[in-house]
Amino acid sequence: MRISFSQPAFIPYGGFFGRQLNSDLMIILDETQFARGFTFVNRNRLKGPAGEVWITVPVKKKHLGLQSIRQVRLHQPERFSTRFLALLKHYYGHSIYYPSVSLHLKAVFESAQDNFLKLALGSINSLKSWWKLDTPQLLQSELGLGGQNQGPELLIDLAREVKASEIIFPYLADRHFDPLKFKSAGLRLVFLKYNQVPYPQFWGNFLANLSALDLYLCCGSAARQIIDKSSRVIEG
């Protein structure tokens, strides 16, 4: 069985779903540390008339120290959801997919309230449902493995727990860990190189690697095929 790993992210880019398309299971790392600096966990890009538009989910950090992603709470969630949905209408209101997307995401915000993990998973599962991507997901917390191990050791423990034989990582991820640790544990490594195939976008020249929400609002269910064409599996 081939598995992949990812931290949960709000409206992630196409490469996240490219790994899901090429996995039998994705394990969502909800108990890993939420980065205090720049991170794509709570940030991504959409597009407007002037080019890229950064979206940042405001989260509570002050006086909270280190937090796991599942512990993170939104700062002023109602204000953020109102502003986000208004921005979506302003930049994508002319998309034929906008009315259903807007209603669906409004329900996601209402269900998540101030829980960032629920919001991220809601956005991920919405995108998956719109293009019928049914790769199973498991939360790290559901497997009961956090504890002392971090980094490669944690991933090896998780892979063993689900009886995986192969892991697909983002391309060049092996620059940040020792592949021999995985191979010594009997795990084969492959890598996903994601080169975004251009697709018709609103607002001028094509911008690569925006949130997959932009891709869906521009292309609808064809987004899945575009993600598939953008993804290439490379042997480790």
Of the listed ranges 105-114, 145-154, 176-185, 203-212, the least confidently predicted one is 145-154
pLDDT at 144: 84
Of the listed ranges 18-27, 56-65, 92-101, 141-150, the least confidently predicted one is 141-150
Q: Does residue 146 surpass a pLDDT of 80?
A: no
Q: Does residue 232 surpass a pLDDT of 60?
A: yes
Q: What is each CA distance from 201 to 11, 40, 196, 217, 219, in whole angstroms?
A: 17, 22, 13, 9, 8
Residue 189: burial class (beta carbons within 10 Å; 0-12, 13-18, 19+): middle
Give mean pLDDT, residues 90-113: 97
Which of 183, 193, 181, 189 has the alpha carbon at shortest distance from 150?
A: 181
Q: What rounded mean pLDDT belongs to the chain?
A: 93
Burial track 12-29 (b if 16+ CB lie within 10 A, e otherwise): bbbbbbbbbbbbbbbbbb
Give mean pLDDT, residues 83-93: 97
Alpha-helix runs per DSSP H in the chain: 14-21, 77-92, 98-112, 116-130, 140-143, 151-161, 179-184, 212-219, 223-230
Give mean pLDDT, residues 112-134: 96
pLDDT at 147: 57
pTM of the predicted structure, to 2 decimals: 0.94
Of the listed ranges 27-41, 54-68, 101-115, 139-153, the least confidently predicted one is 139-153
Give mean pLDDT, residues 41-48: 97
Q: Give CA–CA dist 11/119, Å, rounded.
A: 9
If pLDDT is split at 50, 70 and 90, which confidence band does 35 have? Answer: confident
Q: Does residue 236 surpass a pLDDT of 80?
A: no
Residue ranges of the domains in the chain? 2-235
Give mean pLDDT, residues 103-111: 97
Residue 21 has, within 13 A of its CA and on its CB side, a CA count of: 23
